[in-house]
């Protein structure tokens, strides 16, 4: 068991900075997910933690000890790759056994042909076989042990890769998009299996994905990354409902959050097209400033056109998912597209071109400044604070 901490990690590839002084503390036994669009540096950070890549600046510590000069195999981490990276010429059993073979057998005992005649080799081999069997049983791989990866399905290969990681009881599991090569149904199933595994083993998991659904469903905490920075590190619920940054709000949540431009008027009210909202702005915000309002699809409530409040919108498309319906609409400027969640009963009353009002409770509105910072009603704009003294 171990905590992992990365301090001011900077990585530069050929002149471009991939990680900009990133710091991250992963608690002992935590399931932490690094999530972000491709190219955000999440995999690089994971590989630096594994020791496969060396950072230009900064330090990695595992269990309180700096490991910057420690080779990957001595860091006591295991890694699961997106491609599984199984040895295709070895059976599942040999794949799972290799980490143990390399650790428990001496170079003499590993020699081909004569290795098994070296003193102690047979006992060690038997011990390894037992441990491999235990891991295989735990993962339901028992009957597949003699197969090669090419004779297995994607899900089975995934399990072998997990087995190879588990077999030597590492302190930290590093997973680099392990589910992205699986089909949708299997992905959901493996999601459960991996979280179950995390609970059983109690080890620290650092999980990289670009799939926000995986991040939301599996993790204790989520680190949302973009362009080499961690934008927010918080619980899944918090990054969803309380994002610190417009990029986080945009990345987390499907369908995407609705972003509506708005202006602050003289009376310190928000003017969103023909609608005015008062009382949700930070005290220090200046009139005339433009801000962006973020509203989750479920925050928008459908009302008919004749009701007095809400944003006027034209329905462009009704998307029915059975349990829910998503109403796609354009606001009065005819360019701002929004999506509202509705019950099938509500959706049944409207069609393309219907004029509706979209109502929302002001406290569900997330307000972002022009540079993407979140403006909370009880604190003030960082920039304004600087200007003010």
Looking at beta carbons only, is 160 or 252 nearer to another protein?
A: 160
Looking at beta carbons only, is 26 or 350 nearer to another protein?
A: 26
Looking at beta carbons only, is 52 or 387 nearer to another protein?
A: 52
Least distance to another protein from the beta carbon of 231, Å? 28
Least distance to another protein from the beta carbon of 17, Å? 22
CB 6 within 8 A of CB 22: yes
Looking at beta carbons only, is 78 or 318 nearer to another protein?
A: 78
Residues pairing with 187 in the sheet: none
Interface with another protein (CB under 8 A): 47, 50-52, 71-73, 77-79, 81, 83, 85-90, 98-99, 102-103, 148, 150, 164
Query: How far apart are the C-alpha atoms of 123 and 336, rounded to whole Å?
Result: 70
Looking at beta carbons only, is 68 or 274 nearer to another protein?
A: 68
Least distance to another protein from the beta carbon of 99, Å? 4
CB 78 within 8 A of CB 174: yes
Least distance to another protein from the beta carbon of 257, Å? 35
Backbone torsion region of residue 120, taken as left when φ is above 0, otherwise alpha when ψ lies between -120 and 50, otherwise beta: left
384 alpha carbon, distance to own chain's centre: 32
Least distance to another protein from the beta carbon of 73, Å? 4
Looking at beta carbons only, is 170 or 297 nearer to another protein?
A: 170
Instruction: Give the angle 240-174-50 at the CA atoms, nearest 5°.
Output: 125
Residue 175 phi, psi (nearest 5)? -125, 120
Least distance to another protein from the beta carbon of 148, Å? 7
Least distance to another protein from the beta carbon of 333, Å? 49
Looking at beta carbons only, is 96 or 230 nearer to another protein?
A: 96
Q: In what order do the strands lie in the sheet containing 65-66? A: 16-26, 4-13, 57-62, 65-66
Least distance to another protein from the beta carbon of 155, Å? 19
Looking at beta carbons only, is 56 or 151 nearer to another protein?
A: 151
CB 124 within 8 A of CB 131: no
């Amino acid at each position: 068991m171990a905590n992992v901490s990365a301090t001011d990690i900077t990585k530069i590839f050929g002149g471009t900075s991939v990680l900009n002084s990133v710091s991250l503390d992963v608690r002992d036994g935590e399931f932490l997910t690094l999530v972000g669009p491709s190219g955000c540096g999440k995999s690089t950070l994971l590989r630096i933690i594994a020791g496969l890549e060396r950072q230009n600046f900064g330090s990695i510590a595992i269990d309180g000890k700096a490991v910057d000069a420690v080779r990957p195999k001595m860091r006591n981490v295991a890694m699961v790759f997106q491609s599984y990276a199984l040895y295709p010429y070895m059976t599942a059993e040999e794949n799972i056994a290799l980490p143990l073979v390399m650790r428990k057998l001496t170079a003499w005992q590993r020699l081909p042909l004569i290795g098994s005649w070296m003193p102690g080799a047979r006992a060690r081999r038997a011990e390894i076989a037992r441990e491999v069997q235990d891991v295989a049983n735990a993962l339901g791989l028992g009957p597949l042990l003699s197969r090669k990866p090419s004779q297995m399905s994607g899900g089975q290969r995934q399990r072998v890769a997990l087995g190879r990681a588990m077999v030597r009881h590492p302190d930290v599991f590093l997973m680099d998009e392990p589910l992205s090569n699986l089909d949708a149904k299997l992905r959901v199933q493996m999601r459960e299996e991996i979280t179950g595994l995390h609970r059983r083993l109690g080890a620290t998991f650092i999980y990289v994905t670009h799939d926000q659904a995986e991040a939301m469903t599996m993790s204790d905490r989520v680190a949302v990354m973009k362009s080499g920075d961690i934008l927010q590190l918080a619980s899944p619920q918090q990054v969803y409902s309380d994002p610190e940054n417009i990029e986080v709000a945009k990345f987390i949540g499907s369908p995407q959050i609705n972003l509506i431009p708005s202006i602050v008027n003289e009376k310190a009210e928000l003017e969103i097209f023909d609608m005015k909202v008062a009382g949700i702005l930070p005290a220090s915000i200046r009139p005339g400033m433009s801000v962006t309002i973020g509203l989750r699809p479920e925050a928008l409530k459908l009302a008919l056109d004749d009701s007095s409040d809400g944003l006027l919108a034209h329905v462009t498309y009704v998307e029915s998912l059975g349990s829910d319906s998503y109403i796609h609409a354009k606001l009065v400027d005819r360019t701002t597209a929004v999506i509202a969640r509705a019950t099938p009963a509500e959706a049944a009353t409207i069609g393309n071109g219907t004029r509706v009002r979209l109502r929302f409770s002001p406290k569900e509105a997330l307000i972002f400044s022009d540079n993407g910072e979140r403006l909370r009603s009880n604190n003030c704009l960082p920039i304004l604070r600087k200007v003010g003294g």
